[in-house]
């Protein structure tokens, strides 16, 4: 009972109202034939196409294709990036050897990797995985590195006074201490990942939500373009929620009660 | 390491003493060298509570880092029972200026951290930990995270994390700074009670004069730039101590003596432009004025 009450607070009502206002405004813009926007479909048309889409198999297949691409690339970026960042943070020698090259490559926007990726990897699928990987990798590493350097020296000192060996300091102080930054890196990385994925799918992909949207464009099916955009938005949102949930599970000490 | 026998949390005996022999610590900043400690001689006797006072920035924390083995002196020797300090170790445990509890561990995990990395069997750890958690009044809070505790509780958890290892020397660097006045007073009484029960060599650092005198067996006053020992005062107030002492004539007498010594140093720090020292001078001037009538009855 109490929970039900909580859901319908004033601010959720305001939130709902803002969505309704947006749709009304949209309807008005199309109705008034505002210059440059006269091709915009009515909300109703988009809704009709949307309902049609969610009943088709190919729509859900596109979801699946995109999600698999995101997860393969994203998880690869974590599996390689987190240890890489921790090693950079923990060992000055390793950092000296890697940091400059890393910093040289980092500013290159992930989308700029598309041509090389297509040329170098034997399949389109592999090149998309790679691009998604690049999108998340640099962000993960830089966040882990920052996480490690933000750990207060007195925590490391306290641990070593209490008898911790370097191995204990690494596993029990550095790793959990950089976890908040790792999660931040994942959250930001997930956003970038979807950006890169959609661009890659539009240019190089077969199937996927990005490709679906692009093909709607080439078929001049404007309502379906909008359906594609909304789907991508929802997919990105769900992935961010998943990361947030993961963060809450991994860092119980961040909860306050 | 001393083994505790079932019902006593902290074993008596096996306390250490600390000696600093001609210790100098110089930091280089932008090519300019800043001597923080210079030719510092210091003796922290066995089983006593030594309080170290000095204006902010005079090198108290640097001194702690040298004794704990986090940093090396530029020259001179730091000795624990006539052995040179080679690095940090569980024989000298530090309660840090700001809390250094591990935020991602529960109170229990924090307290047993030392024992578990040193490989003490789980069952023995649990017994010891429960005893010590009860002692500091945190048994009910053992599964909470540090951020869920009040400031005073955090300080007690940190005391427990150190005491469970039965160190030869306990070092507390302004441990009650930042607590509100009431909590601070309760913590002082709690801490002095612990000390009176166990003994142990304690080095307690503060820049609050009443706290210093209330706790100390010996009070050491440091000079500002370069850091060195300026004076030592034996505090012969009777133990066990409780808060009525603060109003006793002997307390006032000692306080007056200490303030005079500190004032010179604080003024020096002030004229060199240290902001923290400015606050101290302000406080001391106020105290001197307020103190005079009660302190000079003869
Ligand atoms: N790692 C360091 N590098 C350079 N200067 C330091 C370092 N640690 C302390 N100092 C300087 O040493 C002086 C004493 O510091 P500290 O021991 O922290 O003072 P306090 O007596 O307040 O504890 C300060 O001027 C501080 O700037
Ligand atoms: Mg200090």
Among A158, A164, A176, select the one facing B94 at the smallest CB separation: A158
Question: What pTM, to 2 d.p., does this model score?
Answer: 0.85
Encode pLDDT of B137-163 as tens digits: 999 999 999 999 999 999 999 999 999
Provide mean pLDDT across the span A141-169.
Answer: 95
Report d(CA A90, CA A183) in Å as an integer.
19
Contacts of B146 in chain A (CB under 8 A): 253
Protein residue closest via CA to atom 1 of ligand 1: B27
Within the 130-189 window of chain A, which residues sit less than 8 Å (CB to CB) from chain B? 152, 154-155, 157-165, 168, 172-173, 176-177, 179
| CB of B172 closer than 8 Å to CB of B95 | yes
| CB of B182 closer than 8 Å to CB of B243 | no
Encode pLDDT of A158-215 as tens digits: 999 999 999 999 999 999 999 999 999 999 999 999 999 999 999 988 899 999 999 9
**Percentage of chain B modeled with pLDDT above 90:** 64
Whether A253 sits inside 8 A of B104 (CB atoms) is yes
- Of B220, B229, B222, B207, nearest to B49 (Cα)? B220
The residues with which B77 forms a beta bridge, in sequence order, are B21
At A238 the pLDDT is 96
Report d(CA A25, CA A135) in Å as an integer.
35
Mean pLDDT of chain A: 92
Residue B286 confidence (pLDDT) above 80:
no
Report d(CA B170, CA B173) in Å as an integer.
10
Report d(CA B18, CA A139) in Å as an integer.
48
Q: Give residue B13's pLDDT band: very low, low, confident or very high (50, 70, 90).
A: low
**B1, exposed or middle or buried, with CB in 10 Å at 0-12, 13-18, 19+?**
middle
Q: Give residue B258's pLDDT band: very low, low, confident or very high (50, 70, 90).
A: confident
* Number of residues written out for chain B: 298
User: Which of B27, B70, B262 gets mutated to test ligand 1 (max ligand atoms within 8 A of its CB)?
Assistant: B27
**Percentage of chain B modeled with pLDDT above 70:** 87
Question: Which structural domains are found in chain A, ordered by start?
Answer: 1-40 (no CATH), 41-254 (1.10.3720.10)
ipTM tops the 0.90 cut: no
Return the residue of B nearest to A179 by Cα: B104
Q: Give residue A76's pLDDT band: very low, low, confident or very high (50, 70, 90).
A: very high
Among B70, B100, B117, select the one facing A155 at the smallest CB separation: B100
B207 lines ligand 1 (CB under 6 A): no
CA dihedral for B211, B213, B217, B218, sign (positive or negative): positive
Which H or E run includes B231? strand B229-234
C-alpha dist (Å) from residue A155 to B108, B130, B170, B255, B281: 17, 23, 17, 35, 32
* Number of residues written out for chain A: 257
Residue B102 touches partner A, C-beta closer than 8 Å: yes
Encode pLDDT of B268-283 as tens digits: 777 776 655 545 555 5
Whether A257 sits inside 8 A of B93 (CB atoms) is no
The residues with which A28 forms a beta bridge, in sequence order, are none
């Amino acid at each position: 009972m109490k929970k039900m009450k909580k859901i319908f607070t004033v601010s959720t009502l305001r939130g709902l109202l803002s969505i309704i206002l947006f749709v009304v405004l949209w309807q008005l813009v199309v109705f008034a034939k505002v210059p440059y926007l006269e091709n915009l479909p009515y909300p109703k048309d988009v809704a009709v196409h949307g309902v049609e889409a969610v009943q088709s198999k190919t729509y859900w297949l596109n979801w699946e294709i995109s999600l698999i691409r995101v997860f393969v690339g994203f998880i690869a970026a974590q599996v390689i990036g987190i240890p890489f960042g921790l090693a950079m943070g923990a060992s000055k020698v390793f950092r000296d050897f890697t940091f400059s090259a890393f910093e040289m490559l980092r500013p290159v926007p992930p989308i700029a990797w598309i041509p090389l990726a297509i040329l170098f990897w034997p399949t389109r699928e592999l090149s998309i995985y790679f691009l998604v990987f690049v999108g998340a990798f640099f962000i993960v590493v830089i966040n882990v590195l920052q996480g490690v350097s933000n750990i207060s020296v007195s925590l490391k000192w306290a641990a070593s006074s209490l008898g911790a060996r370097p191995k204990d300091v690494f596993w029990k102080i550095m790793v959990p201490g950089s976890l908040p930054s790792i999660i931040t890196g994942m959250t930001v990385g997930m956003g970038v990942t979807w950006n890169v994925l959609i661009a890659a799918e539009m240019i190089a992909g077969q199937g996927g939500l990005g490709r679906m949207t692009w093909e709607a464009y080439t078929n001049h099916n404007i309502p379906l373009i909008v359906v594609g955009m909304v789907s991508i938005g929802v997919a990105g949102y769900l992935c961010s929620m998943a990361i947030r949930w993961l963060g809450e599970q991994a860092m119980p000490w961040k909860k306050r009660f | 390491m001393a083994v505790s026998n079932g019902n006593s949390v902290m074993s008596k005996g096996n306390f250490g003493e600390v000696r600093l022999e001609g210790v100098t610590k110089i930091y280089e900043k932008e090519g300019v060298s800043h001597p923080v400690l210079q030719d510092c001689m210091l003796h922290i006797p066995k089983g006593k509570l030594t309080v170290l006072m000095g204006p902010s920035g005079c090198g108290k924390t640097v001194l702690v880092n040298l004794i704990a083995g986090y940093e090396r002196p530029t020259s001179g020797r730091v000795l624990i029972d006539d052995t040179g300090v080679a690095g940090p170790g569980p024989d000298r445990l530090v309660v840090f200026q700001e809390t250094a509890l591990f935020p991602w561990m529960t109170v229990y995990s924090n307290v047993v951290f030392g024992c578990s990395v040193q490989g003490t069997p789980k069952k023995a750890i649990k017994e010891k930990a429960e005893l010590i958690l009860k002692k500091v009044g945190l048994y009910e809070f053992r599964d909470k995270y540090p951020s869920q505790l009040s400031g005073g509780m955090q300080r007690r958890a940190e005391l427990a994390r150190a005491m469970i290892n039965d160190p030869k020397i306990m070092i507390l660097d302004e441990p009650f700074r930042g607590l509100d006045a009431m909590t601070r007073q309760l913590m002082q009484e709690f801490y002095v009670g612990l000390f009176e029960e166990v003994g142990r060599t304690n080095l307690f650092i503060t820049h609050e004069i009443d706290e210093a005198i209330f706790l100390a067996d010996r009070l050491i006053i440091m000079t500002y730039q370069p850091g060195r020992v300026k004076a030592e005062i034996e505090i012969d107030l009777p133990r066990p101590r409780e808060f009525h002492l603060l109003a006793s004539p002997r307390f006032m007498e000692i306080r007056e003596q200490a303030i005079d010594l500190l004032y010179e140093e604080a003024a020096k720090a002030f004229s060199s432009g240290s902001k923290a020292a400015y606050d101290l001078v302000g406080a001391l001037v106020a105290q001197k004025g307020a103190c005079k009538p009660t302190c000079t009855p003869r």
